[in-house]
Amino acid sequence: MNQPVIDLSPKVSDEVRKTTCYMCACRCGINVHMKDGKVAYIEGNKDHPVNRGVLCAKGSAGIMQVNAPSRLRKPLKRVGERGSGEFEEIEWDEALQIAADWLEPVRQSNPEKLAFFTGRDQSQSFTSFWAQNFGTPNYAAHGGFCSVNMAAAGIYTMGGAFWEFGQPDWDHTKLFMLFGVAEDHDSNPIKMGIGKIKARGARVIGVNPIRTGYNAVADDWVGITPGTDGLFILAMIHCLMKAGKIDLHYLAQYTNAPVLVINNPGGADHGLLMRDENGKELVIDRATGKLTPFDQPGVKPDLAATYEKDGQTHRPVFHQMAEMYLDEQYTPENVADRCGIPAKRIRAIAAELARVAFEEAFTLDHEWTDFRGEKHAQMIGRPVSFHSMRGISAHANGFQTCRALHTLQILLGTVEVPGGFRFKPPYPKPATAHPKPHVGLTPGAPLNGPHLGFTHGPEDLALKEDGTPARIDKAFTWENPMSSHGLMHMVISNAYAGDPYKIDVLFMYMANMSWNSTMNTRGVIDMLTDKDENGDYVIPKIIYSDAYSSEMVAYSDLILPDTTYLERHDCISLLDRPICEADAAADAIRWPVIEPDRDVKGFQSMLCELGAKLNLPGFVKEDGSQKYADYGDYIVNHERRPGIGPLAGFRGENGDQAGRGAVNPKQLDQYIANGGFFVEHIPAGSNYYKPWNMAYQDWAVNIGIYDKPTPYLFSLYVEPLRKFQLAAEGHGDRQPPDHLRARIKDTMSPLPIWYSSEEDNHAADYPVTALTQRPMAMYHSWGSQNAWLRQLHGHNPLYVPTRLMRENNLSDGDWAKVTSPHGEITVPVLEMAALNDNTIWTWNAIGKRKGAWALEENAPEATRGFLLNHLIHELLPPKGDGLRWANSDPITGQAAWFDLKVRIEKAAAPAESQPGFAPIKSPVGQGPKDLTWKVGT
Amino acid sequence: MTTLPAKTDKKLGLVIDLDTCVGCHACVISCKGWNTENYGAPLSDQNAYGADNSGTFLNRVHSYEVQPPGDAAAQLIHFPKSCLHCEDAPCVTVCPTGASYKRVEDGIVLVNESNCIGCGLCAWACPYGARELDQAEGVMKKCTLCVDRIYNENLPEEDRQPACVRTCPAGARHFGDLGDENSDVSKLVAERGGMDLMPEQGTKPVNKYLPPRPKDEMPEFDVLAPFLEPVAEEPKGFLGWLDKTLEKL
Amino acid sequence: MHPAPSVIFFTTFSGLGFGLLFFLGLGFPGVTGWTAFAFFAIAYLMAVGGLMASTFHLGRPERAIKAFTQWRSSWLSREAWCAVGALVLMGLYGLGLVFFDARWTVLGLLGALFSMATVFTTSMIYTQLKTIPRWNMKLTPVKFLSLSLAGGALLAGQVSIALVLLVIAGLVQLYTWVEGDKALNASGTNMATATGLGNIGHVRAFEPPHTGTNYLLKEFVHVIGRKHSQKLRVIALGLMTIAPIILLALPFSHVLGVLAILSHIAGVLTARWLFFAEAEHVVGLYYGKR
């Protein structure tokens, strides 16, 4: 045959530069293929511990993010009214001078007048360091509306959480149960894991009102009623306990189930854990029958024994659990209707968990020694693993629901064992090993410690002497005592209300607060643009840094343009949120694989400069000159503790030390040569049972994760919760306001409970739950300015279950009005059968404001796309008591945006999705019409 | 050459696992990236930042809801689709210029863009929507099975596979010789009942689809009941059981 | 299918043009000199104009010459050869008639044969497509040929033949619609076979692969005009056959003759619009559309 001759071995690129993706929070390794100095193609890095060569749609579309016409080009100074989009381009010198002129007086007089909040920030250990040096107590990232329930519940309960912080033992698990809508975090590793277990034919159970994504491939789908996951889990706990299908050995040895609880009704210590004079929890040793500290060599903690003293019977935690969870209220029959799951199905799933955990148990031949010094010849595996997505946590009951799930997996003995769920370094790490919140401010000086942390009782709350909140977001107050990530979603609302106080400068990074990163979008826009009686903005000065022309740009006074992810230094640090695997510690960098073609600066490099300009102690040398030339310089030379810096790899003068070691000036080069990351494997035999495995503990100390071995017990019973309850009962000096007492008593149960927030959200009048999730091809990447990704998701329909379609006489393409207690939207609908029949949902953050993101004003994102955010308020509907009740979890302050209750009805098709917003003037113009992108010839 | 070869030495193709695909579109964009920069003209985009935006893609992921009979829950299936490199490829024989051809050595169906007049007839002849006429270049684009990767000596051996396969996070895409019954892909097809799309069209697709495994078929509780046999009905009885059981441990 | 003006014009006018050439080749009407020139000019204007129009739907018209290479397998290539053959043969034949007053009969017969072969090969481009069941039947070439002949006879002023042929063409068209409406269902291709998921249950398209449009949707999924199709069918049939038949049945006048021709052309254009707009490509099934 006369076939054309084609070149089967064309040159792929001139050079491959290996760095770390930033299109979402996965932090995959990428190979950036360069041609003629330009980015030609991006693929996954096969050697990288996170993604092993695979790469998602966002990652592969990075090239369209780097050439996006929405990139900001130069610092901007607002010249029109806020919201108009009228700016003038200025030089960096002037921009930084303006910032310094605004910030310097704040720092010298009252640093709390600066609220510094970062959104999709992957450099929190750096940005918090900056804020700490500035001296403001008002710093946090976006965890409060994203993930704090997930993180805090995990850390308080078992010293680690789901998402990037742990993973199922994909190689051994036989039953994987995944909870919650919005399957985004740790997306590539979870896809890889699911692929792995699917290839083995292992079973996946998905519990999610919406059957998309991972739930679409789940072997069994449980289309639960949103917000009832906790109740479903407690019912399974009921079944498993009643059947004795729990791992008693595991519970006795590794959890606080056997720890005695003080029984002293009415006393200030009632319900606290019994401790010895060294503060160690006490158990009854089954061998001796005596009261013994839990960690003594040879002790066999007794789950059953009680302790009599002073006429009181003190019972172990496990007794309380039995009493609580064997109660009739948790029988499957009693929860079935509420959860929307037949009782038989609940029992079947519980039975299946029991069957796999106990009948399919297996052992690995790894000898190991536990923290009591006991040697074990083998490791027992229980091949059931759990994971959970935001769906279960973004509710007002999310903290307790996440706790319930952890309790379930601990009862089955599947955490940190072969086949179960395992932590990634720096976890396991108990809540007590984390810092506590600090708010001690001194004008002109750094804060007295890190902003965020874990409270262990009323004494740790961030309150001023007069009992009012010390932080602008009211984190760590009686309203949400354990708000470990702060409450970014409350900052603007509180600053506007002057509650707890007014601020002078709002400084934000990568946080689209006037659009999709906020609840109550319209309200926030009004707050940002409202003026006081003097004609000044109520929030006086707003500095914003972003790489792109997002909706927030127009609402800021000074824009400090950031670089794209391929033009910058970053470190994905063990001090922060590293890229570790369950079997390895790992961290990574980004480095400028291309130079910016615009007058922009990496945000962190800019902060090094601004910090020096403000004379912040951590950012100037002794002679007052700038300490870190840029973020790359900081990454290499900063030391948090002697020998411990942002990067753990290639430390020491020769670059051959891992974890600890002197500063190595060639560290970045060595990272680059190594593919942009560093990995140190956990030795076999140390990689399971990590919280109690002395070999792991010693390894972790060596590598700098701990300063000393820190074994601990899992907290089925979370004592700090009880301490807040005791305060609410009237004990102690620090007392909650009266209107919060009942809520604290009711919700802060030291053992997981379930409660409904339906009444608060007027479910009687608004019976349908409305949810959002990000599509996999856009999760976390705000990809609408991306020419490739926006073809996949250029607008978002409202997905409506078949039942509601029929009841409302709707067909595909019709429009519906959706009303919540707070607002209404009118949007196009599409039918979905694989959906809980009382739930509607849409893809989040597809809808865009006209004029933003360099899109044309008639782009589908602006005409058909919409946000559900318009229906959600940061506050609950008023209760008539004159108080502002946050729409948040009362324990952690997590924004409860999945508690949204609505009504739906057919509507005449409007010209565009409603509410409509006036266009904003694009500060970067608009993109080209057509694209034929090819950099090579 | 417009006539189809009587026989090809190999039948290279893809096996797509519908039981595993989570619908993430990774393969779609990876393909777009590679083929924009490589084989032939770039895959262009029109109205890239405006209304009615569209562009050339060689691989697209559909999704379907399937309602089993009775009251079983509806299922959602993600469905990636690209050229199936048919043995009896109608797109090849209709081509008036010989631009479309099926390679003798491996069965890959390609377009020789310099001969393509952009008449679109091959796309009309393809039942699968595997061909898209690039609006900027005016020539027909289609999946090349990354013919410029799979033999590319400038790539490491392990990377010599189509971009979509290399990038698929869930491992739902497999590449190999479906003409060799001992190949991994052929075994997979045999094991899992790999199927053809639109077999009645007579195109004899080389690419196969692995059907989703049966869903929502957890055994009834009655079968599993022994695993939840209560040890006691009351908390008190439970503590008694506890004491006894701990004794045995 | 997208009813692109270029292909509608192409098939309509090349059909008419080659239809006229067919009759001219057979010697109907037996004209010579400038009268012959006028007939040939009209025929060539239509045939060549139609062929030119077809190049407008090419992405790379400058390479159109390459379409001659694949006559062994491609109907489009064969059509190109037949068209050129017909035009050359009939051109020579016409040359004789116009300038030499000579009727080279064999050339004319050959030209007529090639003219009809052109129409046939055009029809086969559509007929061969299994992907479009409405076209993929033996009736399609019959329809193209009967229409081309009827139109040719009309243009050639062969009233009595035209009357018969118009009736035949009308009936064939009607039958084509009846059969065409059943074709997709009868083809056995549906969403179940398209996805292979039919054995699980009822298959319904959920999210499309892209929220905007693309080449496939623009080219193959044309649902907008279909709701008017019944009305348009009546109009098409009326203009294409019934009106010309009535006009021809009336006492002959050139005005009525021209009106009959114009009506027929308008009818064929409408029918051809429907031919494309009503054609369901099976790829639409992947989008849950037809």
CATH classification at residue B119? 3.30.70.20
Q: Give the distance, in angstroms, between the CA of residue C42 and the centroid of all CA atoms in the same chain.
A: 18
Q: What integer pLDDT is reported at residue C252 of this predicted model?
A: 83
**CB atoms B117 and C205 under 8 Å:** no
Cβ distance C210 to A792 less than 8 Å, yes or no, reads yes
Count H helices and E strands in chain B, helices first: 8, 11
Distance from CA of B158 to the nearest CA of C (A): 29
Query: Which tokens is A857 given?
Result: 């004003």
Q: Do C196 and B195 touch (CB under 8 A)?
A: yes
The pair of structure tokens assigned to A227 is 């917000």
User: Do B2 and C132 count as a contact with CB atoms less than 8 A apart?
Assistant: no
Contacts of C201 in chain B (CB under 8 A): 66-69, 72, 75
Mean residue pLDDT of chain A comes to: 96
Whether the pLDDT of residue A648 is over 70: the answer is yes
Return the higher-pLDDT residue of A177 and B224.
A177
Domain residues for the domain of B78 are 12-210
What tens digit of pLDDT does each residue of A477-490 get? 999 999 999 999 99
**Chains in contact with A, counting 3 or more C-beta pairs less than 8 Å apart as contact:** B, C
Other C-beta atoms lying within 10 Å of the C-beta of residue A663: 14
- Cβ distance B197 to C207 less than 8 Å, yes or no, reads no
Write the DSSP symbol of residue B47. S
Chain B nearest-CA distance from C173, in A, is 23
pLDDT at A781: 62
Helical spans, DSSP H, in A48-123? 57-60, 62-66, 92-109
DSSP three-state, residue A343? helix
Instruction: Pick A795's closest partner by Cβ from C206, C211, C214.
Output: C211
The residue-averaged pLDDT of B155-168 equals 97
From the list B62, B69, B123, which residue is nearest C286 (CB)? B62
pLDDT tier, B2 (very low <50, low <70, confident <90, very high otherwise): low
Residue in chain B lying closest to C194 (CA): B198
pLDDT at position A25 over 90: no
- B6 lies in a domain? no
Q: For A55-83, how does the pLDDT look when each residue is reduced to its tens digit (9 = 90+)? A: 999 999 999 999 999 999 999 999 999 99
Which of C130, C196, C215 faces B211 most closely, judged by CB atoms? C196
For C32-86, the pLDDT digits (tens) are 999 999 999 999 999 999 999 999 999 999 999 999 999 999 999 999 999 999 9
Distance between CA atoms of A304 and A59, rounded to whole angstroms? 53
* Mean pLDDT to the nearest integer, B135-139: 97
8 Å CB contact of C66 and B115? yes
Q: Kindly identify which residue of chain B lies nearest to residue A861, measuring between CA atoms.
A: B51
* Distance from C-alpha of A512 to C-alpha of A504, rounded to nearest angstrom: 20
From the list A862, A770, A865, A864, the residue with the least C-alpha distance to A821 is A770
Residue A817 has pLDDT above 80, yes or no: yes
Nearest CA in chain A to B215: A219
> With contacts defined as CB-CB under 8 Å, which chain C residues touch B63?
205-207
Question: Residue A8 pLDDT more than 90?
Answer: yes
The Cα A150–Cα A143 span in angstroms is: 10
Task: Provide, as residue numbers in chain A, all residues whose Cβ is less than 8 Å from the Cβ of C214.
Answer: 791
**pLDDT for the residue numbered B234:** 81
Q: What is the pLDDT of residue C223?
A: 74
The pLDDT value given to residue A37: 94
Beta strands in C130-286, from DSSP E residues, in sequence order: 202-205
Give the pLDDT confidence score for residue B247 in this predicted structure. Answer: 85
User: B30: nearest CA in chain A?
Assistant: A60
Q: Which of C82, C206, C213, C281 to mutate to test the interface with B (most CBs of B within 10 A)?
A: C206
Least confident stretch, A77-86, A142-151, A167-176, A467-476: A142-151
Residue of A nearest to C209 (CA): A792
Count CA atoms within 13 Å of residue A756 on its CB side.
14
At which residue do the structure tokens 């804020």 appear? A131
Among chain A residues, CA nearest to B104 = A1
* Residues in A touching B110 (Cβ below 8 Å): 6
Q: Which one of A792, A798, A805, A841 would you mutate to disrupt binding with C, by most C Cβ within 10 Å of its Cβ?
A: A792
**C214 to chain A: nearest residue by CA?**
A791
Residue C224 has pLDDT above 70, yes or no: no
CA-to-CA distance for A309 and A513, rounded, in angstroms? 56
Q: Is residue A588 within 8 Å of A672, Cβ to Cβ?
A: no
Specify the DSSP element, H or E, that contains A231: helix A229-242
pLDDT greater than 90 at residue A122: no
Residue A371 has pLDDT above 80, yes or no: yes
Q: How far is CA A850 from the centre of its chain?
A: 29
pLDDT at residue A782, rounded to an integer:
66
Neighbours of A830 (CB within 10 A): 18
Mean of per-residue pLDDT scores for chain C = 95
First to last CA, chain A: 30
For residue A781, which of A218, A124, A66, A282 has the smallest C-alpha distance?
A: A66
Question: Burial of C54 by CB count in 10 Å (0-12 exposed, 13-18 middle, 19+ buried)?
Answer: buried
**Nearest residue in chain C measured CA to CA from B51:** C212
Rounded-to-integer distance, Cα C124 and Cα C74, Å: 10
- Residue A733's pLDDT band (boundaries 50, 70, 90)? very high
Binary contact (A793, C212; C-beta < 8 A)? no
Q: Which helix (H) or strand (E) segment is B29 a member of?
A: helix B26-37
Rounded to an integer, what distance in angstroms lies between the CA atom of residue C279 and that of residue C181? Answer: 9
A304-358 tens-digit pLDDT? 999 999 899 999 999 999 999 999 999 999 999 999 999 999 999 999 999 999 9
Which pLDDT score, from 0 to 100, does residue A779 have?
Answer: 85
Q: How close is the nearest chain C Cα to the Cα of B100, in Å? A: 11
Q: Bridge partners of A770?
A: A840
Chain C hits for A833, Cβ within 8 Å:
204
- The SS3 of residue A339 is helix
Here the tokens at position A461 are: 């709350």
Neighboring chains of B (3 or more beta-carbon pairs < 8 A): A, C
- Collect all residues of chain B within an 8 Å Cβ-Cβ radius of residue C187: 200
Chain A residues with CB-CB distance to C210 below 8 A: 791-792, 794
Q: Percent of chain A, pLDDT > 90?
A: 95
Sheet bearing A260-261, strands edge to edge = A260-261, A312-316, A307-309
Report the C-alpha gap between A889 and A156 in whole angstroms: 16
Give the number of residues written for chain B.
249
- State the pLDDT at residue A2: 75
In chain A, residues with a C-beta closer than 8 Å to the C-beta of C209 are 792
Size of interface A-C (CB pairs under 8 A): 17
Distance CA C160, CA C164 (A): 7
Res A33 pLDDT > 60: yes
Torsion of CA A462, A466, A471, A473, to 10 degrees: 100
* Residue B65 C-alpha, separation from nearest chain C C-alpha, in angstroms: 5
Contact B98 C66 (CB under 8 A): yes
Is the model's pLDDT at B120 over the cut of 80?
A: yes
Contact predicate A717/A256, CB 8 Å? yes
Residue C60: other Cβ atoms inside 10 A: 21
Beta-bridged to residue C205, according to DSSP, are: B64
Q: Is A97 exposed, middle or buried (0-12, 13-18, 19+ CB in 10 A)?
A: middle
Structure tokens, C246? 């009535």
Do residue B19 and residue A57 have CB atoms under 8 angstroms apart?
Answer: no
Within 10 angstroms of residue B134's Cβ, the number of other Cβ atoms is: 24
Q: What residues of B are in contact with residue A751 (Cβ under 8 Å)?
A: none
Which residues of chain B have a CB within 8 Å of the CB of A358? 227
**Is residue B231 predicted with pLDDT exceeding 70?**
yes
Scanning every residue of chain A, which has its alpha carbon at the shortest distance from the alpha carbon of C206? A832
- The separation between CA A286 and the C-alpha centre of its own chain, rounded to angstroms, equals 41
Q: Give, as one character, the DSSP assignment of residue A480.
A: B
First CA to last CA across chain B, in angstroms? Answer: 76
Residue B14, H or E segment: strand B12-17
Joined together, the tokens standing for residue B55 give: 């562009």
Contact C73 B3 (CB under 8 A): yes
- Nearest C-alpha neighbor of A481 from the set A718, A233, A135: A718
Q: Is the Cβ pair B53, A239 closer than 8 Å?
A: no
Residue A1 has pLDDT above 70, yes or no: no
Chain A: nearest CA to B36, how far in angstroms? 6
Are the Cβ atoms of C211 and A833 closer than 8 angstroms? Answer: no
**In 3D, which of A310, A316, A313 has the Cα closest to residue A285?**
A316
How far does the CA of residue B123 sit from the closest CA of chain C (Å)? Answer: 8
In sequence order, the 6+-apart residues with CB closer than 8 A to the CB of C85 are: C114, C117, C118
Kindly report, residue by residue over A553-575, the tens digit of the pLDDT: 999 999 999 999 999 999 999 99
Burial class (CB in 10 A: 0-12, 13-18, 19+), A310: exposed
Chain C residues whose C-beta sits inside 8 Å of any chain A C-beta:
204, 206, 209-212, 214
The reported pLDDT for the residue numbered B236 is: 84
Q: How many domains does chain B have?
A: 1
Contacts of A793 in chain C (CB under 8 A): 211
Burial class of residue A625 (count of CB atoms within 10 Å of its CB; 0-12, 13-18, 19+) = exposed
Give the sign of the dihedral formed by CA A371, CA A374, CA A377, CA A379.
negative
**Average pLDDT rounded to a whole number, residues A382-404:** 97
pTM over 0.80: yes
Contact, B189 vs C196, CB < 8 A? no
Query: Contacts of residue A791 in chain C, CB cutoff 8 Å?
Result: 210-212, 214
Q: How far apart are CA B94 and CA B88, in angstroms?
A: 12
Please spell the DSSP secondary structure of A636-656, one letter per residue: HH--SBTTB-S--SSBSTTS-
CB A417 within 8 A of CB A770: no
Mind spelling out the 3-state secondary structure of A419-437?
A: CCEEECCCCCCCHHHCCCC
CA A274 remoteness from chain centre = 33
Phi-psi domain of A532 (left: phi exceeds 0; alpha: psi -120 through 50; beta: other): beta
* Confidence grade of residue A828 (pLDDT, cut at 50, 70, 90): very high
Chain A residues whose beta carbon lies within 8 Å of the beta carbon of residue B155: 12
Surface-to-core class of residue C238, CB atoms within 10 Å of its CB (0-12 exposed, 13-18 middle, 19+ buried): middle
Pairing state between β A379-381 and A362-364: antiparallel
Q: What is the DSSP letter of C61?
A: G
